[in-house]
Amino acid sequence: MWLSVLVGVVGLVVGLRLLYRTWSGRCVSSASMRGKTVIVTGASAGIGLHTAADLVKRGARVILACRNLEKAGRVADELRKGARDGGEVVVRHLDTSDLASVRRFAQEILDTEKHIHVLVNNAGIVGTEERQVTGDGLEVIMATNHFGHFLLTNLLLDRLKQSAPSRIINVSSVGHKRPTSLDIDDLNLEREAYSKMRAYSKSKLCNVLFTLELARRLKGIGVTANSLHPGVVHTDIMKSLEYSLTNILLKLMISVVSKDSALGAQTTIHLAVAEEVEGVSGKYFVDCKEAPTSSLGRDQDLARRLWEASEKAVKLTPGEAH
């Protein structure tokens, strides 16, 4: 009896895994990226790595923007082996949790790159259960996942405009649907009971709202901005989960019924290269198709207020603001 139950459970799990992967969207575009310059943050592992690998094979000049230069250097060596049609790989240091690092990276890019055709804001963390604050006074998950990318995008926006048509891609998550509210006056999560999943889900909501307002501000100038959910993906980010029974079960579930990083990167790649999304902006994609966000994610006034609060949080100067 127990053997039959076990066989049934295993069969169900395997079936779910196969169905999920079969139904998952895949980028079918064969568009060349020769002559295009692409920046991918957090490109030394997971979805970012596989996004970069695909774009290098399409002939793009891909800048890996990473915290760990040693790891990124090893990744770059491997990616160069698969480069085609003039594809190049460049490594630059970037820690999106550190605003000074973001500014140094942006200045280096502006000094060395004449064009930026695609900016992929991919870097992200889940964080720890204990609330942590960066040297800039920002909650670390919000800083890494939202504030750093907000600042980076603003600093590079003129170059993106000069390179139009160009694209900005913000990697969010279905987790953005979890929050029932977003207190613009408490983006560093000081007032409410803290949990890393609350911080993570709110940072992902900020990714969606940032995209919404960014697209509104960029309307009609040839630069598009879209966000996405990559799917349930088993990536290195899962290693950051602390030891607990809940997290062990979560890791087990995700390892069994999930996409691998290559499949998880497909929607990002689709938004970077597909001809059919040229001119599409302010949308949210899942499995390479447009999908609805939460009601909060569609709130234009909330998006505007988040933008204004983010400008203050990252100390954006009048000359940098858009």
Residues that are catalytic: 200
Q: Is 317 helix (H, G, I), strand (E, B) or coil?
A: coil
Q: Which residues contact 225 (CB under 8 A, 6 or more apart)?
A: 167, 168, 169, 170, 211, 214, 215, 218, 281, 282
The secondary structure element, H or E, covering residue 74 is helix 69-81
Q: State how far the Cα of 199 lies from the Cα of 218, in Å rounded to an integer.
A: 28
What's the token pair of residue 142? 């919000």
Those residues whose C-beta lies under 8 Å from the C-beta of residue 240, and which sit 6 or more positions away, are 125, 126, 127, 128
As given in the structure block, the two tokens for residue 268 are 């990002």
* Dist CA 284 CA 305 (whole Å): 20
Residue 127, strand partner residues: none
What number of other Cβ atoms are within 10 A of residue 278's Cβ?
Answer: 12
User: What does DSSP say about strands 37-41 and 118-121: parallel, antiparallel, or unpaired?
Assistant: parallel
- Exposed/middle/buried for 218, CB within 10 Å: 0-12, 13-18, 19+? buried
